[in-house]
Amino acid sequence: MKEIKDREQLESYLHAHQIESVFNEPLIPHLSLYNFDQGEIICSQGDPSEVLYVLVKGKIKIYTTSSGGKTLILSFKTPLEVIGDIEYVQGNNIINTVEAVSSVCMIGIHHRWLKKYGSDYSPLLQFLLKIITRKFHLKNNSLSFNLMHPVEVRLASYLLSVSFDESDSLIKGPSGTVSIRDAANFIGTSYRHLNRVILQFCTEGLIERNKGFILVKDREGLSTISGRNIYE
C-alpha cells in the first residue's frame, strides 16, 4: 500500500464519482488516497477493522478462508464500492479478505474520524445504507444466477469478471487472481465438470489453457455466452 499525497487527485475522484457531498467539511481533511498493486492484500479476514475504504479505481476480489485453509471467492467489485462498511456499522473485525485484482486506488478514512464527525451526518449514513442494501441485492442475484444458468454461462461470466482489462486478459495461476478450483467453487460446480467446459471453450477458440494460466482469447465470444451477465 502506498499513500498518494495528492489532494487534487483525491478531489477529482470524489467529483468523478459524485460523492463530494457524502463527506462533510470536518471529514474532508481526514480522507486519504491509497494505491494498491495487483495482488496486494487490502485487508485480511479476522484483522481489526480501522479504516473505511471507497474503491474509486481498479478491481478487487473478496474471498473467505476456512479454518482448514480453503478459500472461496465471494465476489468481484469495481468502482464505486465500499470496503469495511458492515464492519464499521457493526463494530466487527474484517469479515472477508480483500485483494487487488488490478492496480487499485482507494479513498480511506479512519473509523475514529467517522465516529467523531460522521455518526450523525445524514448524507454519509444514506450512502452507507445504499451501499449495504445493494450488496444484499447483488448477493441475491448471484445466488439466483448460479441456480438458473448452466455452467457454460457461469464460467463465461466468471472469466469476464476476472479478466479485468480489455488489454490485459491474462488470468494467472497460483500467484495471481484465479485458479480452476476457485472458479469451480465460485460458480458452484465440480472440478471435473468445470474441466470439461474449459476443454469445450478451448476447442471453440474462446480461451487457451496452459500450465498455470488461462488466456482469454475471445472476450466477445464469452460475452455472447454469458448474455452480458457478469459476476460483479
Domain at 191, CATH number? 1.10.10.10
Q: Alpha carbon of 147 to those of 39, 94, 151, 176, 199: distances in Å?
A: 30, 29, 10, 28, 23
C-alpha cell at 54: 471507497
Same domain for 98 and 23? Answer: yes
**Which cell is 177 given?**
487472481
| Alpha-carbon distances of 15 from 22, 116, 121, rounded to whole Å | 11, 24, 19
The pLDDT of 210-227, averaged and rounded, is: 84
| Residue 60 sits in the same domain as residue 98 | yes
Quickly state the pLDDT bin for 169 (edges 50, 70, 90): very low
d(CA 180, CA 226): 18
Buried b (16+ CB within 10 A) or exposed e, 180-219: eebbbbbbebeeeebeebbeebeeeebbeeeeeebebebe
Judgement on whether residues 84 and 154 belong to the same structural domain of the protein: no
Q: pLDDT for 115-166, tens place per residue? A: 999 999 999 999 999 999 988 887 777 766 667 789 999 899 888 877 655 4
Write out the residue range of the structural domain in which residue 26 sits: 2-122
CATH of the domain at 39: 2.60.120.10
Average pLDDT of the residues of the chain: 87
pLDDT category at 172 given cuts 50, 70, 90 is: very low
Residue 130 falls within a domain, yes or no? no
pLDDT at 56 over 60: yes
CA angle 35, 60, 222 (to 5 degrees): 130
- Mean pLDDT across 172-190: 64
pLDDT of residue 164: 57
Question: Greater confidence, 50 or 149?
Answer: 50
User: Using one digit for the tens of pLDDT, what is the confidence trace for 17-29?
Assistant: 999 999 999 999 9
Domain tally, the chain: 2
Which of 122, 156, 189 marks a domain boundary?
Answer: 122
Instruction: Tell me how far apart the alpha carbons of residues 10 and 106 are, in angstroms, rounded to a whole number.
Output: 9
